[in-house]
Amino acid sequence: METIQEPTIITLDGVNYDASNASQETMALIQDLSTIQAEMNRIKVSYDIASLARQAIMEKTNFAIAGGESGLVKLDDAQESQETTDETLEA
């Protein structure tokens, strides 16, 4: 009795391929792609977490500024431009 082999299906850029007879080199490349994709997904999750944390901290900072509790004093545009120029000259 002959055993029928199920195809090994992989998807690359939205296209399905039967990889049952893929060369070792091609399978190694596909494995590399898989490793890179997993790393990119991990980095994206880290980025998303950092982005949410940044947003929450900015909201708390803005709330403290609006409530006058921060001790920060807003500079007008003329002061800001002069201080930026002074810092640039000092560097």
Tell me, what's the pLDDT at 85? 66
H/E segment holding residue 30: helix 24-66
Domain boundaries, the chain: 9-90
Tens digit of each residue's pLDDT (9 = 90 or more) over 3-62: 777 888 999 999 999 999 999 999 999 999 999 999 999 999 999 999 999 999 999 999
| DSSP structure class, residue 20 | T
Label residue 91 by pLDDT band (50, 70, 90). Answer: low
Q: What angle do CA 72, 77, 83 make, to 5 degrees?
A: 70
Tell me, what's the pLDDT at 7? 87
